[in-house]
Every structure is written in structure tokens, then in C-alpha cells.
A and B are shown apart, each in its own frame.
Chain A
Amino acid sequence: MQSMAMRPLAMLPEMLLFGGGLACLLGGSFTARRRQWRLRAVAALALLGCAVAAVLGSLVPGSAFEGAFVVDGVTTAGRVTVAVATLLVLLLAGDEVAGNDRESETYALVLFAATGALVLTGARDLLVLAVGFLLASLPVYALVGLRRTARGAEAALKTYLVGAIFGILMLLGVTLVYGLAGSTSYPDLAARLEGLPTVAVAAGVVLVVAGLAFEAGAVPAHFWVPDAAQGSTGLAAAFVTTVPKIGAVIALYRLLLALPDTLAWGLLVAVIATASMTLGNLAAFGQEDPRRLLGWSTVSQAGYLLVPVAVAGTSDLALPSMLLYLAAYAVTNIAAFAVTTALPDVRDLAGYAGLLRRRPGLAVALVVALLGLVGTPPTAVFVGKLTTATAAWDGGMPWLTVVVLGNSLVSLFYYLRWVAPALARADPASGLTATRPWSARTAQLGAAISVVVGLGAGLLWALVDVSVLP
């Protein structure tokens, strides 16, 4: 039987990334500081190879490692999104990390964490899910702490503590479910969990979901996100608020499909989504540091991303809209973070005064990225938000549609607090003189992709294979 086969090559993209990470880690010791750009090239090649292998791998869908890992349309979409997002993040390294004494380690950690996100994407077994969780979170702790400042240390400690706690809870949940079902394989769960004590099953599932909420940066495991966004390097901030989310959301989607209909699991996710959206938005209101503001904004975006998960299986639109939103969010969020890394001296919103005058290209990228995050057409997130909101209603949760739209309105307020000074006629603030070219170009590239994907959403929609293997 094919599903029982090992088929290790099915995980070639993951292996390429992991291998690339190892190469960066070891190669870093043997490469002079000013030649470390070679390692960046290695990392970029590994990511490109991963994307290509993912596309080729989609030609032979099926499961690997005795059914514990699955390659289907969703895995492919997740892999390509992760690879492209990580490539964009890597572009930021061109000036923020280049020449830094932690350059090669940064690349290695990024690739390892991306591998973890990929494992989450294809996991069809609770144990593989746990492995993916660890692989995606351990490098993140280090990545957040790489900038050895007081804030960086605090952020790393917070990320580590929250991650450790939720990781333990998740393992507890996995143990509980395994104890009840006698299996960790998704295809077995539905049948074996049926008829068991609801409270025990619910406890196990809730704990697993909580672990994934940490990766997704969603309520209730969101405390680390704003600190990590503010205290770490711009590259790390862009990465940890984007790539792990992709893996976690897809993993949660698969998990929900595998559960029996004994409880309203969708409602659980809907509640988490609502809490994330609302809390993230409200907390972002008063922020003065643009990175911290973006950090809270990613908490609220995690809420939107969970909306299609809440209607997994009940609406045909749920899966395509989720994949589209994930890709749209990744590109847009990285573009917004890239603007902050392009202007290293500016650490408050007022510092953006007169950006349009001094750096028109960067200002346009910022406006496109922020209005994109709100969901203004014709950007990609608009199409994502439109289809997820439609999916929520279609899946029998019209109230969730209202929550999504209401929160979009609320979010507009704090994004505009950033847009307004950037467009103002004021004399350019002093911090705007020093810009980093790579980051600025990444921001513009991200904004451009966001608009192109929005306009060409139909094409992408048709290209993406939304098959999901049970």
C-alpha cells in the first residue's frame, strides 16, 4: 500500500532547507566575515530549491513515512508560500545582517525554523506535529535573542517562556489524545475518538490547539509577539511573525478536519480568532513604536487567518481563501516590516513625518502595505479577506463575518496613525536620511507583489490545487 511506504523523497523540500541550514551553520565557521554573503547565497539557493522541489513534488501526491506526513495541494501551497516568504525575509539581510558577527547563524536559524513550518504544513500525525512545533520554535527563541540588547534579551526570554509553556501543554495534549485514541495518526482519530468522554477529548484537543496558537501568535499565546517584533532585528521580527503562522494555520486546518463531530471545534477556533482580532487591534491603538504596532497587528491578522479554519469542512471556500490569505498576508506583512528596517534610525511613528517628500518610493510601499493589511482593494489581502469573510458566512457563522469586517474598520485607525505622518506635508524628520537600500527595495517588491497578486487573484486561485488528503 502506498500510504504505508516510507517515500523519503517526498520530504525533499524539507531536507533541502534543513541541509541548507546545516551548510550555513558549518560554513559560517570557515568563511571570513566579509565573505559571509556566500552563505546568504547558499540559503537563497536552498529556498529556491525547496520551492522547485515543492512544485515537482506536487506531481506525485500521497503520503510518506507510513502516512505520518502528507503531500497534497495544501502542502505544496504551504511550502511555496513559506519558501517565497523566507526568500523575501532573506533579502532584508542584505543590509541589516550583512557583516554582522552572527550572520551565518541567522541564516541557519531562519532555515531551520522554516523547515519546522514546512513539517507543520504536512503533518498528519500528532507526533510529527510535535516535532514540527519544536523545530519551528527552538530556532525562533535564538533568532529573537540574536540582537544582544536589553530589549532583545527580554523578548527572547518571553518568547522562550511562552513557547516552553505552550510546548509542554501541547505535548500533554498529544499524550492525552494518544491515551484516549490509541493512535496519533489523523486518519484514525475521527473513528477512535468518537464516543469517548467528551471532556477528556476536548481537553486534549484544546491543549494541542493552544500549542499551535503559540506558533500562530494568536490569543491566548500571543504575549511574546509584540516584544519579539520590537526587540529583535527587523529580519527576525518579519520572519517570526510570518513564517511560523503559515505552518501553524495549515496544521490547525488539518487537525480540525481530522476530529470527530462530537464538539463544535469550529466554534472554538472562531472564538480564538475573534479574541485575536479584537485584542490585537485594541492593543495596537496606543503604540508609538512602529514595530510594536506591527507586532500587535500580526496578532490581529492571526485572527483573520483562523477564520477559514473555523469553517474548515463546512464551506468550500474555506481552504482556497485560507491559502490565498496566507500568501497575501506573508507578502504584505514582510513589506511593512521591511519599511521599518529600511529606516533603522526611526523608532516612533512621528519619525515618519514627511516620508513622502524625502523617500516617495518607500512612502508608497508603506501606504500600500498598511492599507493592504486593512484589506483595501486591489491588494492581495483584500481578496483574502473578502473570501474568508464570505467563507465564514457560507460556513454558517455570519456573526464571524461581521466580526472580521468590524475589526477591519477598527484596525484602519491605527494603521492611519502611521500613514498620516508619512503623507504629511511636514518637513522631513531627521531619521529619514539614512535608508538601507536592500530593505527599501524589499518593501517595494513586497508592495508590488501584493498589488499584482490582488489584481491577478483569479489566476492564482485557478493555479492553486486545493486538494487535501484525509
Chain B
Amino acid sequence: MLSLTVFLPLVAALLLLVPGVGPRAARWGWVLASVLELALVGVLWWRYETPADGSLAFDEQVPWIPGVDSSYHVGLDGLSLPLVAMTAVVFLACAVYSVRDPDRPRSRAALFLALETVCLGVFAAADLILFFVFFDLSIVGMYVVIAGWGHGDRARSALQFFLYTFLGSLALLAGFIGLYLAADPHTFDMLELARQDPFAGGGTVAAAVLGAILLGLAVKTPTVPFHTWLPPAHTDAPAVGSAVLAGVLLKLGTYGFVRLGMVLLPEAWRAWAWVVLVVGLVSVLWGALVALAQKDLKRMIAYTSVNHMGYVVLAVGAAGVVSSGTTEARSIAVSGAVTQMVSHGLVTAALFLIAGVFLDRSGTYEIDRFGGLAGPAPRTTGLFAVAAFASLGLPALSGFVAEFQIFTGSIAAVPWSVVGLLGILVVSRVLLWTLQRVFTGDLGPSSRGFTDVGGHELWAIAPLLVLSLVIGVAPRPLLDVVEPAARSVVGLLGG
């Protein structure tokens, strides 16, 4: 069942590549496959029951390279299921958004469907090598998206993206090899590694392995100071590419922090949690402040992503600062981190799709060239406003649920993480100011003749925001899934 869910998009991609599939069939085929995929994920969610600690729901295992004890092993728990669902939603939104785009629809649909399989595979993987395979392929897929369908200086941005994130994935691989060799008997299986906890004694090797894994994930997330690949990649990627990159691919990094760092290396994580915490805080503040200075809409959104991912890193760092009596608080922080991943995925995907509308209508992302758009484009204004409010954490939207938990948990565990609240303040200023400059005031040069969002664009963007609203108003169904997993992770850290 789970394997079917993971590989359904890939099968659809191969079907689309069969010669003779027309462009129209390709575009609608992509939508159909994404709807089916979402339905499958819905079934998974419906049948999901919280697995016992140290096991996974929908567990499937087939030996792959027995010589190094690596297997095709997939499964879900409260950390991965919400992200799998978010991935399916974001990819469906992209499919709908592209339904009228005439640019080589067949290969684009196939590429994105394959990318969807890869992303789902990372979240579902329970074997380090399998994780790495999907993780690495996500880079290749996104490289082709940017190089093939991007604009501007896309060749350069794509190359930078590939080299930079490949560095991260190789660091990750070095860490995996270290984990494998430390385990006795040697294994790449995540559950087995978590059971063995090979680095329970700490030591320099444990620190080096965690360092390599953290470096790999920090590049992917990205956190300051490894974030410089992100803005150019976003600026030159197509709208749907940006939506997937920010919505899903960044989560591969933050998800790894929890799944690899905290679960597989709890001792080392506790020892180095303060470093993670500080990196998170710096990302929060740096991302927010740099976003303030951006003139380009997409770069601005990209930097708010650095800021938002910073909250996640902050939370997982705080969760590792173990002291007695903070267990409950720290599990709230982890649960907030997972909620933030889901929330950011939905909201940022929406923001980038809206930015795509801007490029489509006026050929530019420059904030100063717009103004007074609320008149000619009321629907765009509404969508952007809701997305901005969700992003800055207004109550009743998903960002609030996430950030409230993150700060409640983090401040209780580490009081001085309150500094991070400044980030929320600055990002609010950034988003509100952008809202003002783009949508109110006199009509800017690029605002003239701006057609409002059309049918398929609305159908792509609005559901993302509706989901954000649903999570904001009724977070229980999501939290019921996330909280047991968060408690179990924090339990591993002890305290």
C-alpha cells in the first residue's frame, strides 16, 4: 500500500512518456495522477494508527544489498505521514497550476511526477541508503527543473544549486557510513540503528558523524550560513519548481534533523543541541532581516523561507537541551516543528504560485514596479493577503499553530530563545510592507493591464490556503498524529 503510494507517480510518469501522448493528455494526466495520489494518501491517513515506539506503520521491507545490510524499507509514523500528505497536496496544486502551460507539457509532467515519487520516498524511507538514493535524486530532479524550465540566468543558478546541495548530500553520506560502521552488526536500517544506538557513549566519532549529517541537512534546509544557493535557485526556477523546492524539498532537510539527528544520534544531539539552537536563531533573524532588504518578490519569499526553516531548527535544537521537568515543553517544540513544516509547505507553495502569476502577467518580480493592484486584481490581492497572514503567523491560520507551539516549547526549555520572537516581528513587517507596496497606492507601471488570477490558478492556490485555515482553526486531526511521535522522539533524548 505504501509502496504503491510512493511509486504511483513514477508509474504515471512513465506512462506519460509513452510516445503518442498528446500535450493535453499529458497535462490532464498529471492532474489525474496527482488526484489519485492524494486519494491514496487520504486512505493511508484514514487507516493510520499510531505505531508503537521503535516501529512504523505500513512497514514494508525487501532486502536490497544484503552485503551491507541495506534494504528497501519503508514505513510511516507521525513525523512522516503529515509531510507525505503535504507533499501530495503541493504537487497536486502544481499540476493544476500548470494545466494551461504550453511549455513542453509531457516531459514536465513526467519530471514532476518522478520528483513526487522521490520526495515521498525520502519521507517514507526507513533505510539510510534508500533515504540517500531518494534524497540525491531529488537534487537531480530539481536541477533539471531549474535548468530546463527556468528563466533568467538559469544555467548558473541550476549549477550552483546542484553543486551546493550535492555537497550537502555527500556530507550526509559520510555520516551514514559512519553510522553503519559504528553499528554492530553493521546495518543501514534506521529502526535497527535507533534500537542499537551505536553512539550511546558519545565521543569524537559521534560528534564527527553528527557534524557531517548536520552539515548535509543544514545545506539542504538551508540554514545560515549555507543558504546562499536558495535565492538564485528560486528566482530562476519556474513557479511550480519554486513551489516544490520551497514547499517540499526544504522539508527533506528539516525532516532529516528529526529523523536522523535526534532519533539516531540522541547522545550527540544532546551534546550539540545548543549549536543547533543558535544556528536556528541566527537563521530566524538573518532570514527576516535580509528579506526586509529585498526588491524582488521571489527573493523576498525565499528569505522568509530561511526564516521559517530557522524556527524549525530552533525548535529541534531547544528540544535537545535536556533538563528535568521540560519533557512536555520539548515535545511541544518538536510537534510545533513538524506542524511548521506542513504549514510552511502549504503557505510558501501558495506564495510562490502567486509570484508565478506576477511573472506571467508582467514579466517581472520587482516589487517597485507594482502598486495599487487591489483595484485591477482583487482575487490576487485576497490570496496574497491570506498567504502573507498565514506566513507571519496570524491566529486561525496554520502558521500560528506552528509558531505558537515552537515558541511555547522552546522558551520553556531555553528561556533565551525568546530572541527568536523578533524574527516574527520583522517578517510581519516585511510581508505587510510588501502587501502595502504591491496592492495599495497608485497604479505601478506593471500593474496596468494586470489580469486577475484565472480559474485554474485559483483552483491551484486557494485550496492550499483553505488547508492552512483548516489547520489553523481545527489543528486536532493533525496534532493527534504528530504529538505521539514528538513525545517518542523527546523520550529518546531522555531528561
Contacts and interface: CB of A to CB of B under 8 A. Distances in A.
Nearest to A461: B67
B432 interface: no
Interface residues of A, number: 32
Nearest to B147: A423
Task: Name A's interface SS.
Answer: helix
Interface residues of B, number: 31
Contacts of A371: 140
B140 A376 contact: yes
B66 interface: yes
B219 to A, nearest CB: 11
A390 B180 contact: yes
Given A386-B129, A386-B173, A408-B170, A317 B68 contact: yes
B67 A393 contact: no
A5 interface: no
B63 A458 contact: yes
A393 B181 contact: yes
Interface string A373-394: 0001110001100110110011
A335 to B, nearest CB: 17
A413 B70 CA distance: 29
A425 B144 CA distance: 11
Given A390-B181, A393-B178, A461 B65 contact: yes
B65 A409 contact: no
Interface string A414-433: 00100010011100000000
Contacts of B133: 377-378, 382
B136 interface: yes
Nearest to B139: A376
Contacts, number: 77
Contact of B68 (A390, A393, A405): A390
Task: Name B's interface SS.
Answer: helix
A269 to B, nearest CB: 20
Contacts of B140: 371, 376
B409 to A, nearest CB: 36
A320 B67 CA distance: 9
B164 to A, nearest CB: 10
A423 B64 contact: no
Contacts of B162: 412, 416
Given A386-B173, A412-B163, A458 B129 contact: no
Contacts of B137: 376-378
A405 B173 contact: yes
Contacts of B158: 420
A392 to B, nearest CB: 9
A67 B310 CA distance: 65
Interface string A398-414: 10011001101100110
Contact of B174 (A378, A383, A405): A405
Given A412-B163, A423-B144, 18 more contacts: A371-B140, A378-B137, A382-B133, A386-B129, A387-B68, A389-B173, A398-B178, A405-B171, A405-B173, A406-B170, A409-B163, A413-B159, A416-B159, A420-B147, A424-B147, A458-B64, A461-B65, A462-B67
Interface of B: 63-68, 70, 129, 132-133, 136-137, 140, 144, 147-148, 155, 158-159, 162-163, 166-167, 170-171, 173-174, 177-178, 180-181
